[in-house]
Structure 1
Amino acid sequence: MKLDILAFGSHPDDVELGCGATIAKEISFGKKVGVVDLTRGELGTRGSAEIRDKEASASARILGVSARENMEFSDGFFVNDKVHQLEIIKMIRKYRPEIVLCNAIDDRHIDHAKGSKLVSDACFLSGLRKIDTKFDGDDQWQEAWRPKFVYHYIQWKNIKPDFVVDVSGFIDKKIEAIKAYSSQFFDPGSEEPQTPISSVNFFDSVNYRARDLGRLIGVEHAEGFTVERYLGVNSLSDLV
């Protein structure tokens, strides 16, 4: 299955929090979008890997993504090395996306920046024909493939975006997808330990960040991204 967009997250829920509304909007345009979680989030204070597996599946159905996979890398301890890069390359060559979305370039959780660089490096390496890969269970050699664009969504830290996407009308879908992770976020009836992301303030911040970015470009809601190279437009009228 060839996808238009492949979104990577170090943990289940990273993609939803960072760019869930953008994904929902692109799917509404008929784009095929997939999500790849690098870990199962097994070191998370709340819930468990098994619970988060189910939550990720539920969230994928809400967003309407075409595929969702988990690399099962070690939460907290995966590294950006050849072994992990080759596994990401296999996934990129499997789905051949034009656009890759990945974690924030700098963030509170150490896995986010690590995941960001790992996926970015793998996107480049995936285009090198002399790197041979076979997808697990398949006897066919994969063809080289390099995505045209790599964009990094924004997470805990308020990184200044290089561009923002108008997601007005899709914030409710994003919130619904995030709420699928009921073990992780605010729940007044939960007896689990409190974490930085389980507070009311954090959950509210998802909406008010989108509203603030939207305010800056004159729309209701927006999501921000950073880029690794210059963005190009055909004309000034392409800008919102």
Structure 2
Amino acid sequence: MKLDILAIGAHPDDVELGCSGTLISEARRGKKVGIVDLTQGELGTRGTVETRYAEAAEAGRIIGVSVRENLKMRDGFFVNDEAHQLQLIRVLRRYRPDIVIGNILEDRHPDHGRAGNLIYDACFLSGLKQIKTAEDDGSEQEKWRPRYLFQYIQDRFYEPDLIVDVSHVWEERMASIKAYTTQFHSPAGTEGDATYISSPEFMEAVIARARLLGKRIGVPFAEGFLSKKNIGISSLDALVLQET
């Protein structure tokens, strides 16, 4: 299956917090969207591996993904080395996404930065013909390099290179996040030890950031992305002009 957009996260819920609104919007426009979680989030204080899988499946349903898989790298201990790069290169070559959206390159959680750099390196290396990979059936994969790689903003704030209006899918975006009832504050959430992300203030901050980014482009809510590659347009008609 070829995907138009592949979103990658170190943990189940990274993608939902970072770019679910964009994914929902693009899926509604007919784009094929997929999610790959690098780890099972097994070091999380709240919930279990089993509950994380169930929550990820429900979040994926809300988003409208065509595929979601978990690479089962070690939560907290995966590294950006050849073995992990090859594992991710196989995924990139299997789905051949035009756009990859991944973790930020440096953040409060060390897994986020490691994942971001792993994704960055794998996207480049996936385009090299001399790196050989194969599918499970032994067939050789062809090289593939996404046209664009964006990083979604996570805990620490960075000035975005690209801002996407998600106001029209805001309720669905928040529903995909709240599908992780063991992780975030929710009336229906699982009781357990308090964590950094389980407080009501964390969710308020998520909403506040979306409002801040939305204000930048004159809409109620938005998501921001970073890109090391310049973003080009073919004409000024591609610009969406907002009243200021």
TM-score by length of 1: 0.97
3-state SS of paired residue (1:30): coil
Residue in 1 that maps onto 2:41 = 41
Q: Does the 8 Å contact 1:171/1:207 carry over to 2?
A: no
Q: Deviations over 1:191-215 (max 9, x none)?
A: 3111110011111222221111111
Residue in 2 that maps onto 1:105 = 105
Q: Does the 8 Å contact 2:18/2:153 carry over to 1?
A: yes
2:18 counterpart of 1:14: no
1:81 counterpart letter in structure 2:
D
Q: Does the 8 Å contact 2:104/2:154 carry over to 1?
A: yes
Q: Does the 8 Å contact 2:152/2:225 carry over to 1?
A: yes
Matches of 1:237 and 1:142 in 2, distance apart? 38
Q: Does the 8 Å contact 1:210/1:222 carry over to 2?
A: yes
Matches of 1:74 and 1:235 in 2, distance apart? 45
2:101 counterpart letter in structure 1:
L
Q: Deviations over 1:46-66 (max 9, x none)?
A: 111111011111111111100
Matches of 2:208 and 2:235 in 1, distance apart? 31
1:236 positional shift:
3.4
Q: Deviations over 1:2-55 (max 9, x none)?
A: 000000000000000000100000001100000000000000111111110111
1:23 counterpart letter in structure 2:
L
Residue in 2 that maps onto 1:227 = 227
Taking only aligned residues, the RMSD between alpha carbons, in angstroms, comes to: 1.1
Q: Which moved more, 1:104-113 or 1:2-11?
A: 104-113
1:76 counterpart letter in structure 2:
G
Residue in 2 that maps onto 1:75 = 75
1:198 counterpart letter in structure 2:
S
3-state SS of paired residue (2:167): coil
What is the aligned residue count? 239
TM-score by length of 2: 0.95
Residue in 2 that maps onto 1:139 = 138
**Which runs of 5 or more structure 2 residues have no equivalent in the other structure?**
none
2:155 counterpart of 1:164: no
**Poorly superposed stretches of 4+, deviation over 4 Å:** none
3-state SS of paired residue (1:170): helix
Residue in 1 that maps onto 2:185 = 186
Matches of 1:191 and 1:167 in 2, distance apart? 31
Q: Deviations over 1:160-200 (max 9, x none)?
A: 11110111111111110111100000035643111110011
**Which runs of 5 or more structure 1 residues have no equivalent in the other structure?**
none
Residue in 1 that maps onto 2:59 = 59
1:234 positional shift:
2.1
Matches of 2:107 and 2:154 in 1, distance apart? 7
Q: Does the 8 Å contact 1:59/1:178 carry over to 2?
A: yes
